[in-house]
Structure formats: structure tokens, C-alpha cells
Structure 1
Amino acid sequence: MTDVIFTRLTRTDAADLMDGLCDVYADAYGHVPGEDSTVKTAAFRDRATGALNARNYELVTASVDGQLVGFVFGYSLRPEREWFAGLSPQPEPGFTDERDGQRTVVLAEIEIRKVWQGRGVGHALHDEFLRGRREERATLTANPIATSTHALYEGWGWQRVGRIPGRPGAYYSDYEVFVLPLPLGGGVR
């Protein structure tokens, strides 16, 4: 992998980078025939801007020669968020308990510019972000029909736990839910 520089940033820094994050997001998805990419990018901007106020928000960027090539951001899951509401199949008792809001980190977005996809940048970004977290586990959701993405996550150690319905205004009507025990590699914190 070329000299990729990873930088851990706060919400203030992330707000200043929002246009760049939107550019990476749009590039990562490319143009889909029949789809207005500005609508999807605007929805991303709304999600990304809203996430800035989340508890323990953090952004990790990947840059090469000063050019932003990818990013990941996430935050601690609040108990009142009900992230796992409607999870099917029903999980074991206690699985959805967030207790003090420090149990689970949400990996909200991970995006890599098209030209950098398949070069290990995404996996390295993923690991860099999760190594810096103090929660017991991580969670993410994915498009229910994106089976190649599911396989990628499972290859990185994520476990599929079921499906949840999308919230009103969500891009998909339902989402696959994945979890990953932390710390990465099962080491001691």
C-alpha cells in the first residue's frame, strides 16, 4: 500500500472537512444509471452532519500526498437510540442492553474513493478507527442485498446478527446488522 496517512479527527475538524467527505462519498458510489447522485450525496451530508453531535464522535481519514482518499466515522451508541429495535431473529437476552452508553460503537460510514478500493485502504482505515475505541463491541448496518459487502465485513471478522427495519426516511426499508467484539484481535485493553 502506498504511503497512506491516517489522521484521527474531532467533530470540529470533521465539520470543516464536510465538503471533502461528500466528495469521497460521491466518488465511492460513482454514477448509477437512473439515479440522481445528488440526492444520495445530500442524504449522506445530512447523516454525516447529524452524527457530529453524537456521543464520542470520531473521524479517521486516509490521505495520500495530501489528497483525501477515504474516511470512517462513528460514535458511541446511546441507550435511548434503540439501534437494535425490531432485530430479527430476536437476539439473546441482554444483547440490546446499552447500559451506560459505552458498550457499543457504531461504525456509521466507511468510504473509499473508487480508484483506491481493493488496495487495503478500507481495511486499514477500519482497523485504525476500531483500535482507538474503548467500547466492548462495534456494530454497523448494511444494504440487505449487498452480498459482496457482507462477505467483505465477514472477512474482517464481523458477525451478521440479523435484520432491522429502516427508520422513517431511511435509504433502505431494512438493513443487515453486524457486530464485532472489541478490542480487535481479542487483546486486553
Structure 2
Amino acid sequence: MDPEFQRHDAQSAKAMLTELVDVYATVYDTPPYIGDPFFSVDSFRSRLEAAFDTEGFETVTARLDGRIAGYVHGATLPHDKPWWTSLGNRRPAPLQELAHSGDIFWLRELMVLPAQQNRGLGRQIHDTVISGRQESVTALTCIADNQPAHDAYLRWGYTVLGQIKHAQESPVYDAMYLTSH
């Protein structure tokens, strides 16, 4: 059965909050995330609820037999987002200009349930969200030692800008970007 993709604005994503958080709880129920407060379900719920109010917020879900098998959420990247500005001059001037003009999509999370991983669904979700965005560049952060995700993003054409931390207690992430159009 082919997945059904659906776009959701903040309002309709809020109505699915429990479902979205449940996917996160399943995906991150594995070492090294178990027991790490940064990756707790409550912490994620708080980050997701705060994301609903960001400019350009959108979620794309992939459903199989009516149930979410994976999803992505993101928004327009604020030009003054701390992880973004922490990269300093590692951001090429054209990217800095695009961020100032609201032309970078920040892919905040991409998750696929473990039972559906390694079947191309993550790439389909990724491509679905990007194809419907008006921004010309996509930026994301990927845990530097999450080799499967890191390798996938590189295969999909992303370029590493440098390493960042989202918070004192967070792991090291690679900040990456992809020219979408």
C-alpha cells in the first residue's frame, strides 16, 4: 500500500499533537536517547508546541492504513535563530541574505516509525514537504553521530555548514543545507 501524504498547518497539527508526540516517543525509544532529558517526550512536546507559533509552520504526515508512519515538521528559518547565527561566517553570504529575506525552510524534525524505516519513506516525506515550500533553500540540523540520518542527508544533496549545539545539554549537531529550487 502506498503512503498517503497530507499537509497540515499549525492549527490542524495541533489537533494531532498526541499522535505526533506518540511517533516521537516510539522513534526515540532507543539508545542513546533513552533517559536523556533533552530527548524526553515532555521536552519534545514543549518544542513542538512552541513551533506551532512560528512563521510558515507546516507538518507533512505519511499515513499507512490510516495511521501515521512518519512525518516532518518545519517552518521558515528565523534569520536570528541562535543555532543559525552561531555558525557565523561559515554561512555563505548568499545564505545569510536568504535567511534575512525569509527564504530558508528550517526542517526541524523528520521521523519514520522503526517498522517503516529503510524503505524510502523518509525521503518521500522529505521531498513532499520541500516540493510544496516556497523557500529556495532548506536547512536542518542532524545529530553528528546519527550516521544513518547523516549519510541519508548527504546522499540527498545536503552540504554541511558546521557543527552547533541547540542547548547546553544537547548533543553536537551538523548544520546542513540544500538548495531546493
TM-score, length of structure 1 as denominator length? 0.85
Q: Which amino acid aligns with 2:60?
A: V
1:58 matched to which residue of 2?
58
Task: Please show how residues 5-84 of structure 1 align to structure 2 within 5 Å.
Answer: 5-32=4-31, 35-36=34-35, 40-84=40-84
1:178 matched to which residue of 2?
176
Tell me the CA shift for residue 82 of structure 1: 4.4
Tell me the CA shift for residue 144 of structure 1: 1.8
Tell me the CA shift for residue 54 of structure 1: 0.6
Equivalent residue pairs, number: 179
2:93 matched to which residue of 1?
93
CA distance in 2, matches of 1:36, 1:53: 28
CA distance in 2, matches of 1:63, 1:93: 39
Deviations 1:131-158 (A, max 9, x none): 0000110000011222232111111111
Preserved CA contact (<8 Å) 2:79 2:85: no
Preserved CA contact (<8 Å) 1:89 1:162: no
Preserved CA contact (<8 Å) 1:88 1:164: no
Once the two structures are overlaid, the 10-residue window that deviates more, 141-150 or 9-18, is 141-150
| Sequence identity (%) | 27
1:118 matched to which residue of 2?
118
Show structure 1 runs of 5+ residues with no match. Answer: 184-189
Tell me the CA shift for residue 127 of structure 1: 0.4
1:187 matched to which residue of 2?
none
Would you tell me which structure has more helix in proportion to its own residues? 2
TM-score, length of structure 2 as denominator length? 0.89
Tell me the CA shift for residue 165 of structure 1: 3.4
Show structure 2 runs of 5+ residues with no match. Answer: none
Task: Please show how residues 141-160 of structure 1 align to structure 2 within 5 Å.
Answer: 141-160=141-160
Superposition RMSD on alpha carbons, in Å? 2.1
